[in-house]
């Protein structure tokens, strides 16, 4: 698979890993949008949320649980944090391997909408 995140999973591309187990890998975002910003990705390649199947239910639930574990370990779980899945171009997805953003360490406003759209990364 010629996917940026698959290459990170295979350790072909370095990343600052904050969590890893048999199902998922979490690493710091290279363009953080909060004092702490990590991505939780499944080790199985799933392109978008639209591609999740019934057999993927456990790994996607595990991603959310890992996000909570990371927030707790980083010390901002009680104060609060944000998790975000982006789906496809209009949703802001730039890498087509599902990933859960975990953002914390500051209060966040709403809505997170911006006029400038992000561009896909191959």
Active site residue ranges = 99
| 41: number of Cβ within 10 Å | 25
As a whole number of angstroms, the distance between CA 113 and CA 15 comes to 28
As a whole number of angstroms, the distance between CA 113 and CA 40 comes to 22
């Amino acid at each position: 698979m010629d996917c940026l995140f698959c290459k990170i999973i295979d350790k072909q591309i370095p990343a600052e890993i904050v969590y890893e187990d048999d199902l998922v890998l979490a690493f710091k975002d290279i363009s953080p949008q909060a004092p702490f910003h990590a991505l939780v990705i499944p080790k199985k390649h799933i392109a978008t949320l639209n591609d999740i199947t019934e057999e993927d239910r456990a790994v996607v639930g595990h991603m959310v649980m890992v996000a909570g574990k990371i927030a707790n370990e980083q010390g901002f779980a009680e104060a609060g944090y944000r998790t975000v899945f982006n789906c496809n171009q209009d949703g802001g997805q730039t890498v087509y391997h599902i990933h859960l953003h975990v953002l914390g360490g500051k209060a966040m406003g709403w809505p997170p909408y911006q006029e400038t759209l992000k561009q896909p990364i191959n």
